[in-house]
Amino acid sequence: MAEKVNQTQNFLKGIVKDNPVFVMLLGMCPTLGVTSSAFNGLGMGVATMFVLLMSNIVVSLVKSQIPSKVRIPAFIIIIASFVTIVEMVLEAFVPFLYEQLGIFIPLIVVNCLILGRAEAFASKNNILSSIVDALGMGLGFVVALTVLGATREILGSGSIFEFKFVAEDANTFILFILPPGAFIALAYLTVLFNKISIKTT
C-alpha cells in the first residue's frame, strides 16, 4: 500500500509541486519557441514526453553498466538516439507539425528537463519509479505547453486548436503570437500558477 502511495506522489509531483516549466524553469527554449498555438504546444509536449519516457527507461536499465565518469556523454547519446527517431517519425507521418516545430525538434536533445531527469532520477532509481517519474514530469510539461499555447492562440488569433471563435476580420492581440507575447504570457501564467499552488498546499 505504501508503495502505491509513493508512486502516486511520484507521479503527481511533476504536474504540480515540481512542474518543469512553471516551477523548475527547465526546457524554456521550446516552451517559448513553439507555443504560438495550442496544437504546436501539444505536439512539442508529446514529442518531449516520449523522449523523456524512453530515455528514463533505458538509463535506469543500464545505470549499473555505465562508469560514473562518462555517464553524461552516455546519457546524451541515449537521448540523441531517441530524438533522431522522433525526428524521422514526425517527418514521415506529421510533416505539417515537423515544419512548424522546425529547429526545435533536434534541440530536444539539449532540453535540460530530459538530461536533468536522467541524471537526478533515472540513474538512481528502479525502472518502475523511473517510468512513473517520466510520465508525471512529461505530463506536467505537456500541460504547461498546451496551456501556454492555448492562451497565446486565444489572445493572439482568437481561436483554439484552429477553431476560430471570432469574426475573420476581428482585431486580436497579435502581440501574443509574436515573440514578445511568449515571454509576457508565460510571466503572467507563472504568477497565476504560483497563486493557485500556494492556495492548494
The one among 88, 89, 128, 170 contacting other proteins by CB under 8 A: 88
Q: DSSP letters of 12-57?
A: HHTTTTT-TTTTT--SHHHHHHSTTSHHHHHHHHHHHHHHHHHHHH
158 contributes a contact to other proteins by CB under 8 A: no
The one among 7, 13, 18, 29 contacting other proteins by CB under 8 A: 29
Helix (H) or strand (E) run with residue 64 in it: none
Please tell me the distance from the alpha carbon of residue 10 to that of residue 42, in angstroms, as a whole number.
23
The one among 66, 80, 127, 160 contacting other proteins by CB under 8 A: 80
> For other proteins, which stretch binds (CB under 8 A), given 3-11, 12-20, 151-159, 189-197?
189-197
Q: Alpha-carbon Rg of the chain, whole angstroms? A: 18
Angle between the N-to-C axes of helices 71-93 and 38-62, in degrees from 0 to 180, rounded to the nearest 10: 140
The one among 5, 77, 92, 167 contacting other proteins by CB under 8 A: 77
CB of 161 or CB of 188, closer to other proteins: 188
Give least dist CB 114 to other proteins, A.
10
Query: Minimal CA–CA distance to 178: which of 35, 40, 42?
Result: 35
CB of 39 or CB of 82, closer to other proteins: 82
Please tell me the distance from the alpha carbon of residue 126 to that of residue 81, in angstroms, as a whole number.
22
Contacts to other proteins by CB under 8 A:
25, 28-30, 32-33, 72-73, 76-77, 80-81, 83-84, 87-88, 103, 106-107, 109-112, 115, 175, 178-184, 186-188, 190-191, 194-195
